[in-house]
Structure 1
Amino acid sequence: MGGKDSKLAFISYEDAAKRVSEAELKRLKEAFKRASTLSGWMTENLFVREVLWDGVPQRLAQLIYKGFGGSSKGLSFKDLLCGLVVLTKGTREEKIKLIFGMYADESYSYVQKDEMDRKVLETEGHVSPALSNLFKESDQVSYEQFYAWIRDHPDATIISQWLLTETTTISLSNEMDTPTFYQTLAGVTHLEETDIIELEKRYWFIKAQSKTGRFDLDLFKQYVCPPLPETLCDALFLAFDENRDNHIDFKEMACGISACCRGPSTERQKFCFKVFDRDHDSQLNVEELTEMLTSLDIVRQEYNSPETLAAQELPAMDPAVVAKEILSCHDSNQTGAISQEDYLMWTVNNNLTEDFLSLLSQICHIVLGLKPQCREEEGKIIQNWLERESRQPMKVGQVWYLISMQWWNTWLEYVNVQIGDMQGANSTPKHRISKGKNPGGSSLAWEDEGVVMLGVTKNAPGCEKTTNGSGGAVARNARKHMLNAPDTLPQTHSPSASPKLKRKAMQSAPQRPPAIDNSPLLASSPHKFSSLTNEGGRLRRDIMLVRGKDFEIVPEPIWRALASWYGGAPALPRTVILRNRGDESPSLELYPISVRLLRHQVPSQRPPPATSFTGMMAGIGGMAWSLANSTNTPRRYMAYSAAFSRKHTLQQVYDFLCSKLRFCREDIRIWKISPRDEQNLTLLDDENLTVEEAGIEDNQQILIEVRNKDLTCTDNQRCNGSEQLGQHLLHERSPSVDNPLGMKGHIAQRYGELIKDLWSGTSRTVAPLKLRWTIGKYAPRFNGFQQHDSQELLSFLLDGLHEDLNRQAWENHLLRNQSLIVDLFHGQLKSQVRCKECGKVSVRFDPYSYLSLPLPMDSCIHLEILVNRLDGSVPVKYGLRLNMDEKYKALKRELCTLSGIPADQLLIVEIMGPIVKVSAE
């Protein structure tokens, strides 16, 4: 038990850990972590329930808990493991120590007579006569005295009888348990359980990217091509897809990875044979051999550097000729094809497949998520991938990830010890991949043709002024200093020098690197807002970041693999762009333009109280209160941050914001806020301009204007409802300004202006602000930004337009009402009343401008009845449609017709969870 001196150390934790397997120890740790408290202790109740089970008597369970080392605070994992090991695998002496601990005092020094009698009586119901021999000389005994007594009386208590006389039948694991899916798959492959678990996570991540929900050929190509040549994608996919269902399930993926990465050399060559056996007849004919040789030669050319290919001094290969030579040498049966055994014989003396197998290993580890078995293998896989990427030119749109040089150097030392031993403190690791003129990694970032420092001011204090970002006096001055003193950088390149990372001579085996930490590359931001983009953060500008000294860049697959193996954050993706129009050289944009996105915060406003002041303002001031209540500039607040490439068009920015914030394109506009005057806004409406051409600067504020979000959608929906009314207002101007019941023509005038704006075609969207303010002038209840009744607004709008467009009086209703609104929207309801006594009929006509129609209501109910027959046949579900007032008899009658079961033999019950209710007829 052995963590504390006050306890009887019947076994040490290290000894206990050696007696269990790694799988058992891992399982126990995970189970303890789930059951323990946040402080890492297991309480007595949890111990009884999770370890001993509830079938163990409570008093006996308390004894075992105390013997394990449990206290009021709880039981630690070390004490639990020691107790379980002694209980299941301990020696006789260790078990006696455990029994002594159960009956001993709190200090585990001695056993007292009264205390032991009480515990034995509570657990067994009686006290054995053998206990009198134990306390013959004294009321308390030490461990030595207890050991001598229990050796002669092993059956004195139920605990000693169980542990010392009976054969142990309990164990920490049950060998009869059904193996899990991971254990079964690990048994038929060369993978460990942990490998399979990690592969499954990667499998579901990849499959989630599929448009069809399947791991099909298109998804497979998306991830493995490149680096795999496109001509080999179909063949490799079929090699994984064993059941030929055009879908790779997880079992097929795991088995394929095991065959081409973890198996012996013979099994890996068999998988290679399977790739090129297109017709799956277990033979390679001359056409398949020719295709195989052509593909292998392509892989060899792309996999190796020009220097390596030149050193090999291999002559140009004609695949057709070599295929015939292979057949002539290895076709023992003269069938025009070679079998798998013949193929294996050919590979013994020919290493043409080695590059292909190495490429498959890289794909399985980096793309499909297999973790390397050792650090040397990990270093070789990453090195080969980076070397191949370094020979390819950068492509516009390609994404590279930045990694802190401090972590990168630690990783280099970990995966390749010889590099750390052979190189000096300031030299560059041999397999660090650098693009640009100076592969040694000592150049400034703007000297690297693969990295562009756009948006960075290079004329720091003490530096000579330069005119562009890729050359000039500063760059030439920097090269001069580099040549004279390669180990140092001039202080004039940045306000403060980057920290010098020196590599210490390794005294022992390097430690596994911690999680990737890119925070040293980031500038501290006073604003803590969520970013809509995944740039990871703004890079530091107080120092000039130097590739090979402050950071290294890796392609996206390498970053995802390293992040999966080590964890860490933040990810710093950067995109390859073209420098300028007319300049076709791609460059990595280290500093995208970061912007702060602002939104309007409109406070909720209630309609003003009906005071005399309000009435006076509405009567004499026209729009005074309405304008004061509606045109206040809303407060702006910082909502998000984002980073866009300077080569992104404004259309791409609009599309991104609409997709991310779930807006319609017609509902938003973006404004550039001047850093000198926040009231000076510039509308960004030319979507063909790039971010750079639009003059958007780094850290500039951008206002997102969201229209039709102030709960005035009812206004907008009513404005263009009638084509005839719109045509009238477009071609005529006939408001009645002298109508005392009207609104001096203001409603009609504003409505006509709005219709003209709608049909002018000069604006993408039109906000009916003037009409809304005019309505608010005569009906203050529509002020503010509250949700209003659309029917109420429609009634007011039609009435206002009618009065403003009233032409002359009608007879009866038309004596005073004649306008286009009456022609289009008004009518009369005829109501007739007949007297039952005299039979006189009274007819009345009431004008209306709108009709309220009731919503249709279902008069029937839909039921789903599951019929279970007594003969045990498959239950059948029937659907019934009955009137709302029908009885259960009607239900039985309809069900009898459908099922053929007599109604008197049907029992209708309602099941609601565990409750079964018989329905009464």
Structure 2
Amino acid sequence: MTEVETASAAATGIAMATEKAAKELSPEEERVLIRDIALTAEANTKEGDSFFLITQKWWQHWIDYVNQDQQPNNSNNNEGSSSLSGNSDSNGVGISKRPSGIDNSDLISDGPAEDANSDDGVEIHDTLLEGRDYVLLPQQVWNLLYSWYGGGPALSRKVINSGLSQTEFAVEVYPLRLQLLVTPKGDRSTIRISKKETIGELHRRACEIFHLNLEQVCIWDYYGHRKHALMNDMDKTLDDANIQMDQDILVEVLNNVNDTVVTDGTSIIDNGFADKEATSVLLEPSKSSLSIAGGLSANKIASKGYSAEQLQNQTLGYPSKESDNNFGNSGVSTRGTFGGLTGLLNLGNTCFMNSAIQCLVHTPEFARYFREDYHQEINWQNPLGMVGELALAFGELLRKLWAPGRTPVAPRPFKAKLARFAPQFSGYNQHDSQELLAFLLDGLHEDLNRVKHKPYVNSRDADGRPDEEVADEYWANHIARNDSIIVDVCQ
């Protein structure tokens, strides 16, 4: 069957399914329709297409529901069933109820949307993982499920080109989050924008948000509150301009369109964004990348670079916690993906840093901790810490290394943050790996110390007491002032 015939058949299937939605389809009919439409949609995926996040919990319930007829009618073979229902028929085989409406509320952040102009007007949690918290569905699949079940909200994300090849795609689950700072007015606004958008589009949106004229505005890469580079190449993408997640962008309003833009790198003194003059010493801002970037499916178009032709011969996968729940012998499998296989690019002679980082990010306890919502344990007031900045930089790097896909990561943002708090590690020369590891562990501990107010501890002399008693006392004193994931794992 040609691609045109396949697409036509899929369209016919959608029309029939929508028409029949008023009457309830059988689980088997739903399974076959979604399988066929998903295979066609993924095989023809192109840049700019929309994929939708759907909560893993609901998706797993639906998988169980449509697969229940695939289970053997023998209670002795029911161990592999993952039915979410406690009901059973007369033979003792578990029956999964039809899911209620789609409920994506557990993916939604409690706070207000950072960008009121965003497509869906809602923000998702920063620490979501594909296969654990959500799956990505092609638009055609989402539309069909939504027509059957309703619910929401719809969380749409765009497909972007993720490599040099025009056939390497990924879904940009987390577009860039940028802080726009206007000088001299001092206004601020946070926006979400794709890293594949151009500087020209960022320029246009900034002017639209602040009601400014395009001709009277120039924008700057304001990484670290320093004017690094005038962003005047309107056709260059933000990715190529090395703009990264949570970076500041300075929107400078010129008093006169004929004013000359100063490019010597001096900071703006009177706008409240910087408190002292700063020269344009480049702190190595990194190429922006997706936090916890979701790929197209468990088969990872993004990481394996499958072409459309190859995809037609693959089993279409959506990640799941269970490996044995599938659409049958030829259906949509629910296999998860392996993370933690991503390498770090060497920035000069930084192998000393990369080796230490890889040791930490592959420590199972750290990998789990920083992929969960560790933000709630950040100690923002600890005078011995780095105001949470080191922990956030390390957590962001760890999530990139554990995200689906195997594109090497350049740890420039982390290195810049490290150099800020430990100038001895600035530059690109070789340093002692153990010295770096000691500093990093100590810094992470202070940033994540659960003790917000350290009590005064009076250490007593041993005075002939048993060593065990003295040791227990000293350990209790230590824990009273130091309690973090670093202490849990390393001490």
TM-score range, shorter chain: 0.3 to 0.5
Max radius of gyration: which structure?
A: 1
TM-score by length of 2: 0.42
TM-score normalised according to structure 1 size = 0.24
Structure with the higher helix share, 1 or 2: 1
Q: Which has the higher contact order (CA 8 A, sep 6+)?
A: 2
